[in-house]
Amino acid sequence: MGLFDFFKKKQESGEAQEALDKGLEKTKEGFFSKITRAVVGKSTIDDDVLDNLEEVLVTSDVGVTTTLKIVDRIQKRVAQDKYVSTDDLHHLLKDEIQGLLAENNSNDFETFEYGNQKPYVIMVVGVNGVGKTTTIGKLAHQLKAAGNKVVLGAADTFRAAAVDQIQLWGERVGVRVVAQPMGSDPASVAYDTVKSAVANGDDVAIIDTAGRLHNKVGLMNELTKIKNVMQKVIPNAPHEILLVLDASTGQNAIEQATQFTQATDVNALALTKLDGTAKGGVVIGISDQFKIPVKYIGVGEKIGDLQLFNKKDFVDSLFK
């Protein structure tokens, strides 16, 4: 890496950190004002403080299961150290959340570049309104900026606006889009996209799918059909099934994750709209509960505000 590239990377990393800090502002404000109220009048961490902390975490959308784990870990630390002041609570909490996330069987992703699979096929799933199409557009931009040839497949053929949106993003970021008329078979669009990606020597193909959470059987059948036709062209496609969730919906996002992980083999998550919500705690709950890597987070409106998720950076920023 040349000196120019080194400084450019450093600058980009600083800008990304700044965007993350800014994107988590609402969550931080809500979270820490609740913690301050939880320890008011207390000098040591006792049962009352732990009960209050439990309430703080649950109401910050960390989720009941994950909250109980965190509180249990803090309780053990307090029992060991006997006297722990409430001033230590932030430090303890940060420590235990980082520890919990580090135990998940997922590594952080460091670049928008992919390994030896070519084309690398990403199938994107999620309900309407979560920012799915915007995530696809921003991801295409990041992948292209990292030197990849990208093609998009507009396989959400049930909604005219979805096809139009994907085409607009394609024009905006300068990548090809494969589309068919509204009402076409989504599997047919997916097939055309991967076939075209192979013929064109593309590095990455991103396939949009219908954003409907209809009954699990219907959803499963549709996504299975799309996977099966893609596998006629590339036997192990899709390499990534990316579920997009809207962080601002809090516990609803956890419910959607439950539905989609039961319907298909989701192996990556994107959490959008973190900048517009105080419910950023949901990232902790989802990371812990589903043991599926959160790969991308949306921390702002700008095209570069889709970031690769780094557990340590996220928790550091939350407690900054």
Annotated binding site: 126-133, 208-212, 272-275
Structure-block tokens of residue 144: 């292209």
Is residue 190 within 8 Å of 230, Cβ to Cβ?
yes
Task: Report the distance separating Cα 190 and Cα 178, nearest Å.
Answer: 9
Is residue 206 within 8 Å of 150, Cβ to Cβ?
yes
Q: Which helix (H) or strand (E) holds 241?
A: strand 240-246
Point out the annotated binding site for GTP.
126-133, 208-212, 272-275
Torsion of CA 100, 316, 254, 76, to 10 degrees: 30
Start-to-end CA distance of the chain, whole Å, equals 31
Task: Report the distance separating Cα 214 and Cα 235, nearest Å.
Answer: 28
- Report H helices in the chain: 3-23, 25-39, 47-59, 64-81, 89-102, 132-145, 160-173, 186-200, 216-231, 251-263, 282-290, 311-318
